[in-house]
A and B are shown apart, each in its own frame.
Chain A
Amino acid sequence: MSEPLVTYLPFKAGLPPMGTYLRSLLKRRAFISEFARSELRNQNYGSVFGQLWLVLNPLLLSAVYFLLIYVIGGSSDSTRFAHLTASLFLFYLVANSLTGGVKAITSGQRLILNTSFPRIMLPLSAVVIAFLKFLPTLVVAFVIHAVVGLSYSWQMLWAIPILTIALLLATGLAILFSCINVYFRDISSILPYLTRSLLYLSPILYEASSVSDSIKQFQIVNPIFYLLDSWSRVMVHAQAPELFSLVHAFSFAFMIFVIGTYFFLSRERDFAVRL
């Protein structure tokens, strides 16, 4: 008798064999891109502009803030407008990953109950969807940068590592919250308020430099405060980010990613019975 190809034993909380898991994940990477593409197509299914909404959304969003700052606010502070839009776009990358990720497992119920695959593919797809939505906004941000006449420098290349950190954070959050939602469904109802609070607590509607010191000391626990500050420095002011900000942003992103992934991988075999 030959060796069994695979053996299923009772569930124990713990990491699956990582080599096999990663190979099986890598093998199914086409699922992630296909899923993201289908999902994006469907979100605008039946609308007149279709996929064009991916560009129209950030344009309209900036138009609203243009109205707020230039027309109602009567200001002509073009830096502020560029700061607000660029920061908001990065914020939405993280927030969309989170809102897409939180329901990734619970809404994939049919697939999970009938197919055996690495469950982490579902929150990962949510991040890819958020990233595909982010790309057109990046173009819009550059257009705004040019139109309001801000300066350029090589320091702007720092945007690449900062974006990588943002993606690590987004992935970690999506994985963590998709898993929490399996055990504690109320989280998906609380989440909109959490992201809204995070929006106001972070340097988006204002610049990090304008925050008073007494408040700034609490921002050390805000995982995206220094991330967004660095992003604005690089993208709007064309300056190098502070080392502290980068270290802070990376530490948080890495920590959330590791905790989320560990939590997810050690529980995922249990998901099918919890749905």
Chain B
Amino acid sequence: MISLSDFKHEHPKASIAVSIKELGLTYKTSIEKKPTLKARIKTLGRGKKHTRIVRAVDGISLDIHYGSVLGVIGSNGAGKSTLMRVISGIIPPTEGRVDVYGSVSTLLALGVGFNPSMTGRENVYLGGLAAGMTEAEIDENFEAIADFSELGESIDAPMRTYSSGMYARLAFSVAAIVEPDILIIDEALSTGDAKFKEKSLNRVKELRSADRALILVSHALATIEDVCNEVIWLNKGKLMARGNPAEVIAEYQKFMNVRKSASSDEDV
């Protein structure tokens, strides 16, 4: 398990940050309509298993280079978050391999607030410590995180009292203030009010640099098109397209039969 603070080296532009080869990941899920003991006893010994195998990620090969900002798009359940979890070493792949050449943001935004009865401050510290940062490093960044989130005194209130917007603001702040070599921002971008959205978008633009790889997972297609220089489109675990943002997004929209309507544009 690598930690955020282990490596902070210079990365030559366009060298590989993450290399994914023939990656596959399967889940087994139970699909019993009524997951009761009775149903389980009935099927016992008949060899009939009520499980379905889900291929969350299916044969993806991909290189992500330093200096690039990669957008990941796809419908719900396309395998975007799963792919991010494999890259950060949270879920082991079922097949294939992933080589990572740098420190990954091991704290995905959604991990913040894992314990709702603890305060925002405690959650930020615990999340950071779990991700391998030292207390001093978190101390150093904490003010910036708290400021960026604009939570004010609420940072010391239990997170169960937070509104969903406050939750998301804190999550984004943690992800965006800590500066790993490979930064993954998963769905945390399109949250909060208009002002915060703009602020977070600006922060992402600031973070673009030659020796960092940024991976943005979002449904906010306009943002992706604006910020990213490369986009991949996932559908049912498969890599459908990769390349120029405008082209891939257009292809995706055509596939999804989503017209460039107000609702998808607004989602910045």
Contact = CB atoms under 8 A, between A and B. Distances in A.
B1 A9 contact: no
Nearest to B11: A2
Contact of B97 (A9, A31, A42): A9
Interface string A20-55: 110010011011001100110010010000000000
Contacts of A7: 97-100
B110 A113 contact: yes
Given A110-B114, A115-B108, A273 B91 contact: yes
Interface residues of B, number: 48
Contacts of B103: 5
A121 B130 contact: yes
Interface in B1-60: 1-3, 7, 15-16, 19, 27
A1 B16 contact: yes
A78 to B, nearest CB: 41
A264 B213 CA distance: 34
Interface in B207-226: none
B71 interface: no
A118 B93 CA distance: 18
Given A10-B94, A21-B1, A42-B117, A114 B132 contact: no
B100 A5 contact: yes
Interface in B109-158: 109-111, 113-115, 117-118, 122, 125-127, 129-132, 134-135, 158
Contacts of B27: 273
A4 interface: yes
B19 A30 contact: no
A116 B106 contact: yes
Q: Which of B1, B114, B122 has most chain A Cβ within 10 Å?
A: B1
B107 interface: yes
Contacts of B101: 2, 4-5
Contact of B106 (A108, A117, A121): A117
Most chain B beta-carbon contacts within 10 A, residue among A20, A28, A117: A117
Contacts of B109: 114
Nearest to A4: B99
A83 interface: no
B95 interface: yes
15 contacts: A4-B100, A5-B2, A5-B100, A5-B102, A7-B98, A8-B98, A8-B100, A10-B96, A20-B1, A109-B114, A110-B113, A113-B90, A114-B111, A116-B1, A270-B92
Q: What 7 pairs across the A-B complex have the smallest Cβ distances?
A: A114-B111, A110-B114, A4-B99, A31-B129, A11-B92, A111-B114, A114-B108
Given A2-B15, A2-B101, 4 more contacts: A1-B16, A28-B130, A35-B126, A110-B114
